Amino acid sequence: MTESVKESINVFWFLPTHGDGRYLGTTQGGRPVDLPYLQQVALAADNLGYYGVLIPTGKSCEDSWLVAAALAPITRRLRYLVAVRPGLQPPSLAARMAATLDRLSEGRLLINVVTGGDPVENKGDGIFLSHAERYEVTQEFLEVYQRLLQGDKVDFNGKHIRVEGAELLFPPVQENGPPLYFGGSSPEAIDIAANQIDTYLTWGEPLAQVAEKLAVVRQRAELQGRKLSYGIRLHVIVRETEEEAWAAADRLIAHLDEDTIASAQKIFARMDSTGQQRMSALHGGSRDGLRIGPNLWAGVGLVRGGAGTALVGNPQQVAERIREYQALGIDNFILSGYPHLEEAHRFAELVMPLLPLSQPANQAARTVNTGPFGETIGGDKRPGQTVKEG
């Protein structure tokens, strides 16, 4: 059984601070991801009515806090989902950073709690902890972090974290601090989600697997007397016809060679992330059998860690698949597509009108050439709407 399904959903986009382009696994079709480009993506997401943007974290990315601080002043409604890193940041510092950015963005900050699943990268950051120990740190970190944002003066003496007289002098805009988002598929991660998190995130697995996972999380949360919100992270490849969409999916990996795939899969295999193991199992590092469900494709995961699946189809099909996930209780959809600027516009134009959005596109009074109506015909006449059958 699912909890009552929320009538509306939040649709997020993604800031590609680790790179962008038209093809995966190659420099061909790549583009520089500098501040002007990130500004374009953020402004597009803001103007198109996306609820927020996820900013990734890790050594392959620009720093998510600095990127959010650079972009928040040029956007109006867009929220920023930014990572805190237990074990990499002390909880008191993270709380001060969150409160500051929440004030600077006028309450548009959301927090993504990331434990880190790559032992090699973790060691480069000075973290020499086992999988279980990282989640012990996360639990202690969140206890201190949340109490600080709630206005408490905190003394805490845990196994990994100790503070005396920790406090925030300047509170956040959002009461009790920005909402917490968190993903993890291991038993330790699910326990933390059930006890301390507002929105539990999953990667885009087939519907039955997502339903099974959310049922476990929901049951654990109920034992704690809590109800969570749920979100899913997916790529999208939407075109006006299904045939065009699958052709676009094929083009996305058209320049991948087997050595590149094998190299990426070797990196994923060293990780101790249960979620990454589940993603990798969907395709097994092979191009064969990438269609793993109705309009669900695992091709992105051949070379990309983390979210490795995409919804592929025409607008009606993609909207229907989103509604199926919504029926499981998911009301936060964190999406992306290559290249991210163009695909933000494409998804907003083709699919968002078919979805029950919690934050509809800005419908300010339209005057003169503010459209949308296309280019004026012959400099004299606005085009009429053409509806194609089928």
Q: What is the mean pLDDT of residues 355-367?
A: 69
Cα–Cα dist 361/345, whole Å: 12
- pLDDT at residue 232, as a whole number: 98
What average pLDDT does the chain have? 92
Write down the domain spans for the chain: 10-354
Confidence label for 79 from pLDDT (cuts 50, 70 and 90): very high
pLDDT above 90 for 97: yes
Query: What are phi and psi for residue 210, nearest 5 degrees?
Result: -65, -45
Contact present, 205 and 152 (Cβ < 8 Å): no
What is residue 381's DSSP assignment? B
- pLDDT at residue 389, as a whole number: 46
What is residue 163's DSSP assignment? E
Q: What is the mean pLDDT of residues 365-389?
A: 63
Cα–Cα dist 242/315, whole Å: 9
- pLDDT at residue 118, as a whole number: 83
Q: What is the mean pLDDT of residues 371-379?
A: 67
- pLDDT at residue 265, as a whole number: 86
pLDDT tens-digit readout, 268-295: 888 878 888 888 888 888 888 899 999 9
Residues of the chain above pLDDT 90, percent: 76
pLDDT above 70 for 367: no
Q: What is the mean pLDDT of residues 230-252?
A: 98
pLDDT above 60 for 366: no
Write the secondary structure of 61-128 as one string of H (helix), E (strand) and C (coil).
Answer: CCCHHHHHHHHHHHCCCCEEEEEECECCECHHHHHHHHHHHHHHCCCCEEEEECCCCCHHHHHHCCCC
Give every CB contact of residue 384 below 8 A, 6+ residues apart in sequence. none
Q: Where are the alpha helices (DSSP H) in 224-314?
A: 242-252, 258-269, 274-281
Superfamily of domain 10-354: Luciferase-like domain (3.20.20.30)
Q: Could you tell me how far CA 153 lies from the centroid of its own chain? A: 32
Cα–Cα dist 251/237, whole Å: 11
Q: What is the mean pLDDT of residues 203-220?
A: 96
pLDDT above 80 for 365: no
Cα–Cα dist 367/309, whole Å: 41
* Closest alpha carbon to 285 in 319, 252, 260, 254: 260
Q: At which residue do the structure tokens 């075109």 appear?
A: 239
Contact present, 307 and 233 (Cβ < 8 Å): yes
68-82, 111-125, 211-225, 353-367: which range is least confident on average?
Answer: 353-367
- pLDDT at residue 1, as a whole number: 37
201-205, 211-215, 258-262, 281-285: which range is least confident on average?
Answer: 281-285
pLDDT tens-digit readout, 15-61: 999 999 999 999 999 999 999 999 999 999 999 999 999 999 999 99
Q: What is the mean pLDDT of residues 153-172?
A: 98
Q: What is the mean pLDDT of residues 167-182?
A: 97
